[in-house]
Structure 1
Amino acid sequence: MSDPGITSSALEEKLHLSRRQLGYSLGKINDWLMGLNLPVIERTRQGHFVIDQSVFSELNEDMENTVSATDTIILTEDQRVQLIIMMILSSEEELSLNHFTYELKVSKNTILNDLKKAQAFLEDYDLNIRYTRKYGYLIEGKEFQVRKLLMYITYLILQMSNGENRLKDLADIRNEQIDEFTDRLEQVENQLNLKFTDEKMKTMPYILILIQRRIKRGYTINSISIEYEELSDTKEYKATEELLYDMKDIPVSDRLFITLHLLTANVFSSEMAEDEVPNLVPAIDNMLRQFEKSACIYLQDREQLMEKLLQHIKPAYYRIKYQLTDTILFKGTLSQEFKEMHLLVKRSVGLLEQLIGSEIPDNETAYITMLIGGWMNKHGESIDKKVKAVVVCPQGVSVSRLMFNELRKLFPEFVFLDFLSVREFMNYTLDYDVVFSSTYLETDKKLFVTKVFLGREEKYRLRKQVMLGLYGYTPNEINVNRLLEIISNHADINNERALKQELTEYFDKDEDTAFVKQNITNKSMNLDDLIVPDNITLMDSASSWEEAFRKSAEPLVDSGKIEPHYVDEMIHYCKRDSYIVIGPNIAIPHAAPDDGANEVGMSLLRLKEGVQYTNDYKINLIITISAVDKQQHIHALMQLMNLAGSEMDKNKMIKADKIEEIYKIIQLYSKN
């Protein structure tokens, strides 16, 4: 900031840094700037730095104070509460108020207030903080709940700034202990033929050390709801035995808990037998089938998707069954395009919930939604002469997949080869040009550090930063007048004014291409946009359901939205499966997009007397759907689902004498 004109090479020479070290350092600076909600420092291809004026305005007044202020990180109230809980859980000596005030550097009154907050935090676990003169501060309650709390608090502290060092100091954990358990876990990976996520590999050694410590202090799990028969035959139980090979004094119930911890851990990749959890594969298959039915789509390469889902849902099965889902955090919120899909997924998991024996929490269905949504967005691309990119994320396969797909949309001109954990990235053999990562990495390639979830402005900044880093310019830096001079030196220009206007439009458009395309693709269509009055047909009866379905589809055929053979395929599907019935008296026949769907659309046939469809259903309302992709019709479909749930409004439609009466009800549901 004191010398904005300095170049990269001059900085490297002055500070004795390599090119890679300077890039890494600048990345750290940009991460700090983003933490202050300030624009990042960009670099041109010529090695100059581009610093936004707001950075100067915000920081230039007193650089000395700014720098010194960042050296000391002030803990928030929530962070102090988490550290107090960890101190009580991990300490091998009696704790008093003085211990807390010394470690956290706050007053006794502040600590007393924090202890009240800590007690409120523990209420969700049915645990209590108690103080006695003899034993100091203790956490009392069922040990299974204490272990859940321990796992969650460990995770939270490791997310703090300098979290690992804080945890080691507070809990008196030595580096040798961490290294020992890390080595043992890597052996478990080899034995189980899987790879834990980077996040899990970072967290598990601390958890295992602290559990071992509690067991030595006499805190063992006596009464537990873990089913011995269910876990003792798993390969994870055998791996636990290997993990604890020299710790013979650990009781069986605690070995089962550690087995459960391994079973619930997110993995990046694994090979598993389908019969490891009986009936899990049929339950996942049923979930996909229900999702396809709800979303009016047909998933491609279904078997491969089943394998991916099995890999994620197996640990989720144990997490949900034994109420350990609060140890797995879902960072951020689902993007808009996934929200409605998430609702459909939640409607499709009935058999899975039945198998587990409890409701599946939102954070787990969100991961499943991202897996299915990522699969739906998958498409092939030629990688010849294109920028090749990889995405690195330590948070697990589901979040990595989401990040991968978001970046693919933001940079449609790049070929995205793979999404990787940090450890996989270190040994990655394919050739690539660019790395997008949610964490800093040592690499000779172009590295762009980005958050997993990006807002519109953040996407704009990232795209601008990447284009500047790769090509040395952003479109708005191009001087069109100079470009015209160059062209006129080598060619005759018939209409200079028109050429200048077209070039200006082209370069201005380039910068926002990703957003324009996204907005068009993701435009939500309401039910009344698709079922318009011209697409509504009123009849009293039909001789067969086949005739009724053909009659329902006529407006879409006449308008060219579907080909005539689409109707034949639709009836063919309906003969094999009654999945089209979405509620009493209402059905949504449809075929696959490649069966002759030209444009998204819906048409409705009302039969006053109804028609028999199979032995189980009588249908009065038939809505034919043409879905050309997997997104455009979803919003309208959700509105239709809401309508299907109202007996009163369905009956009004069935009894209606005029198309306008039906359309008015459709408009009512299109507002939601």
Structure 2
Amino acid sequence: MTDERSRKLMKRLVERSVHEVNELTAQTGLTKRQVEYSLEKINEYVGADNGWKLVIENNRIILNDQVREQFISVLSDRSYAKQYLMNAFERTNYLYLLLFYCGDEYLSISHFIEELGVGKTTIINDLKNLTLQLEKENIQLAYTRKNGYYLSGDEYQIRYYLMKMIIWDSTENNTSFIYDRFIERHHIETVETMRQLLEQYTKKYSISFVENRLTEFIYTFIFLKKRLSDFPVKLNDKYQLPALTAMNEYQFSRSILDHFAINEASAALYLCAWILGLSVGRETIHSKDTETIMILVKRIILRFETISGIRFNNREVVIRQLYSHLRPAYYRLFFKLPIVNPLHEKIKSEYGELFNIVEETLKPFASLFEHPIPEDEIAFLTMHFASLCSTFDDCLTTQKVALIVCPNGIGSSSIVYTELKTLFPELSFLGPVETSEIEQLSNSYDLIFSTVPNIRLFYTKKPVYIVSPIMTTSEKYRLISDVYTQIGNFNFKLPAVDKIMEIVERHAAINQSAGLEKELYEYLINQNEAVEETDDGPGLQEITAPELIQLNMSAKNWEQAIRLSAAPLLKQGRITRNYIETMIETAKKEGPYMVISKQVALPHARPMDGVLQLGMSITVLKEPIVFGSKENDPVKYVFCLAATENNRHLNAMVELVRLLEDPEFYSILETSQQSEEVFGYLSQTTALLEK
């Protein structure tokens, strides 16, 4: 039998041909001894019948193509679950699945022992763990002599927990084969049978799912459909939307339920709401909600541009991409459906400034849903804005063609596409595409980058590289080394950062070890760029100066206020006169886009309109001026931004947004007699923010 550790190790091993053991321990969280033990189990399970044995030599593990394909095959094989030894976490999930699906049956300790094949003591401990987990979700694991073990609580919460469990297991934990084991054991419709049925209706009603979202829906519906009739829900008023029954998603839901002879009145509306939160939004398909969602999309884009100081060039592309994400996000928030983003923490780490700006952008829209917008959802939207903010040009070279395969949706695929184009400018890229589209492309590509390991990729006999949608600098570094070693220059070898660190430590004291290591990775990845171009960007005090701060100024109207605020930037040669005229013309066409909060305006234009150097001026008006904003007029504080193409101003914008929430900042602006006082306050405060 294999176990979770062995599976985790196999999953990591297939990503590369050569692995350093110390890297594996860091990536998997296993000790070196645990890695060695898991290798022994893998050799027994996979290698014994195939005449090979994986060993650690010179602190490295080397896999040939045959072994990698066997690992992928094992990880993709649903029958793998039959010989798999579940850990405590997996058994707990399996018990919940049993309680959920067999909620109308009598369940006892004996049933659990027979189902899982473990002892009574183990089952009792697992039930205790499950009880503690469910209490956090306001669900109770109850027991009576008459009814046995059963789930008690709000049916919405009980269903929500299952959905969240499946989403997490199919994305981060990659343990969907446990659900396959349950399906086979209980003789339920298979995933493939359900997929074929759904494909008929998705075509009929023009419903689109991202590859992985469809898989999550299939698994969840297989376990849920029995409960739709056995445990009907009392519909919340939110489900009584007249527009809901006119949507294609409702007709889609009704057709599926009719197929299984499910006539419960609440089921179709519940299923419709759920599908609205999963399917891809397409602005070309007009429905009852198209206008509402489109207005929301445009307002979010406008607010993001206002707060970030970024002006998008191709607005139609931006609207189309955000609509595809925002429509399902709107319904996830509206109906309080599960939102699970395994990349949440990584996105916050790698795109911290942008995440904070997106979070600030969404604050006014939280009132639509009567609760704060979860960070997981903010992280999803951050991925979209990260890809849209990219200013990299398409590469024209066609020496080698790389195919990008991403089954997780447009957000992560856009990020991967942008990152890879930056790392490998000499490659020409196809995609991103879903796994099912690979066969149609035949031999039109030389190598594959994918966010998910899949046996079908390795059948192409092309080099395959498994990448994370959000790559750290060390992951980018390792990927560059792998790709160039295999398909580029066989003599190419990036210097080893850990060896450089060892040398430096022998001859000098290092105050910020993690920071030095990260900067070395970034420098070696981008050797043609200056190191200062790879940091987090300058702070607010670094893009302004006492000469750019004006206090107690007079203006007759909003146009004069903008010209007045831009004057110091023009005097210092940071902008051209055309930049000022563009800001004013844009305001005349689009309205007071620059008014970002009460009494605060942030006029700006695109870098191409006349930015010569990054900078921001701060102007405090003697008397407030009406800009035309119904919500935030009149304006007294004007921050004129000149941003360059590389978006390095985002760190400063995050600091500004935080300051605008601090009453003391406004007090300083009002009471200071000299611009040096304001600048001194900025320097002191932003230094504290950075800490």
Q: Which residue pairs with 1:578 in the alignment?
A: 592
Does the Cα contact within 8 Å between 1:297 and 1:630 map onto a contact in 2?
Answer: no
C-alpha spacing 1:166/1:377, structure 2 compared with 1 (3 Å)? same
Equivalent residue runs for 1:507-526 within 5 Å: 512-513=525-526, 516=529, 520-526=533-539
| 2:27 aligned partner | none
Partner residue, 1:470: 487
Task: State the SS of the aligned residue for 2:397.
Answer: coil
2: CA distance, partners of 1:559 / 1:290: 29
Check the 8 A contact 2:523/2:531 in 1, yes or no: no
Match of 1:263 in 2: 276
User: Which AA in structure 2 matches 1:77?
Assistant: A
2:200 paired with 1:184: no
**Cα distance in structure 2, aligned partners of 1:589 and 1:631:** 16
Identify the match of residue 89 of structure 1 among 83, 93, 100. Answer: 100
Unpaired runs of 5+ residues, structure 1, are 1-28, 43-53, 479-507
The one-letter code matched in structure 2 to 1:578 is P
Structure 2 distance, partners of 1:509, 1:287, is 32
8 Å CA contact 1:566–1:595 kept in 2: the answer is: yes
Distance (Å, rounded) in 2 between the aligned partners of 1:595 and 1:160? 44
Aligned to 2:251: 238
CA distance in 2, matches of 1:383, 1:333: 31
8 Å contact from structure 1 (residues 158, 167) kept in 2: no
Please state whether the residue corresponding to 2:470 is helix, strand or coil: coil
User: 2:461 is matched with which residue: 444, 459, 472?
Assistant: 444
1:668 aligns with 2:684: yes
Cα shift at 1:94: 2.5
Q: Residue 634 in 1 paired to residue 650 in 2?
A: yes
Alignment match, 2:143: 131
- Give the whole-Å Cα distance in 2 for the aligned partners of 1:361 and 1:106: 38
**For 1:337 and 1:412, how far apart are their aligned partners in 2?**
21
Number of equivalenced pairs: 605
Match of residue 453 from structure 1? 470
Distance across 1 between alignment mates of 2:222 and 2:151: 18
Q: Per the alignment, do residues 337 and 247 of structure 1 end up closer, same or farther by CA in structure 2, a change over 3 Å counting?
A: closer
Does the residue aligned with 1:415 lie in a helix, a strand or coil? strand
Output the CA distance in 2 between the equivalents of 1:185 and 1:39. 36
Matching residue within 382, 398, 407 for 1:385: 398
Shift of 1:237: 1.5
Q: What is the aligned partner in structure 1 of residue 304 from structure 2?
A: 291
Quick check: 269-278 or 103-112, which moved more? 269-278
| 2:646 pairs with 1:651 | no
Q: Is the 8 A contact 1:268 1:397 kept in 2?
A: no
Partners in 2 of 1:476 and 1:639 — Cα distance?
40
Q: Report if aligned partners of 1:586, 1:622 keep a CA contact under 8 Å in 2.
A: yes
Deviates more, 1:154-163 or 1:310-319: 154-163
Q: Is the aligned partner of 1:541 residue 2:554?
A: yes
Counterpart contact for 1:388–1:414, Cα < 8 Å: yes
Aligned residue number for residue 14 of structure 1 = none
Answer whether contact 2:391 2:645 (CA < 8 A) is retained.
Answer: no
Change (3 A) 1:568 1:397: closer
Quote the Cα distance in structure 2 between the aligned partners of 1:540 and 1:146.
60
Matched letter for residue 608 of structure 2: D
Q: Does 2:325 match 1:308?
A: no
Q: The residue matched to 1:265 in structure 2 has which SS?
A: coil
Q: Post-superposition shift, 1:269?
A: 7.0
Identity across the alignment (%): 24
The Cα RMSD (Å) is 3.9
Contact 1:82 1:156 (C-alpha < 8 Å) held by counterparts: no
Q: Which amino acid counterpart does residue 116 of structure 1 have in structure 2?
A: K
Name the CA distance, whole Å, in 2 between partners of 1:509 and 1:631.
17
CA deviation map 1:2-56 (0-9, x unaligned): xxxxxxxxxxxxxxxxxxxxxxxxxxx99846748998518xxxxxxxxxxx999
Q: Report if aligned partners of 1:197, 1:268 keep a CA contact under 8 Å in 2.
A: no
Distance in 2, Cα, partners of 1:207 & 1:591? 47
1:368 — aligned with what?
381
- Whether the 8 Å CA contact 2:339–2:377 is kept in 1: the answer is no
Residues 1:510 and 1:467: Cα distance change in structure 2 (over 3 Å) = farther
> Are residues 1:196 and 2:209 paired?
yes
- Gaps of at least 5 residues in structure 2 are 1-5, 20-30, 48-81, 496-520
**Structure 1 residue 60, shift from structure 2 partner:** 11
Q: Which residue, out of 399, 405, 424, partners 2:412?
A: 399
Partners of 1:267 and 1:162 in 2: CA distance: 23
State the alpha-carbon separation in 1 of the partners of residues 131 and 181 from structure 2: 23
Relative distance call for 1:513 and 1:112 in structure 2 (3 A) is: same
* TM-score of the pair, normalised by structure 1: 0.79
Identify the match of residue 604 of structure 2 among 583, 586, 590: 590
Decide whether the 8 Å contact of 1:34 with 1:40 is kept in 2.
Answer: no
In structure 1, the residue matched to 2:639 is 623
Provide TM-score, normalisation by structure 2: 0.77
The higher radius of gyration belongs to 1
**Closer, same or farther: CA 417–94 of 1 in aligned 2, 3 Å:** same
Runs of 4+ in 1 over 6 A off after TM superposition: 36-39, 54-58, 69-72
Deviation for aligned residue 1:219: 5.4
Conserved? CA contact 2:341–2:379, under 8 Å = no
1:340 equivalent to 2:356? Answer no
Q: Which residue of 2 aligns with 1:41?
A: 18
Q: Aligned partners of 2:283 and 2:565: how far apart in 1?
A: 47
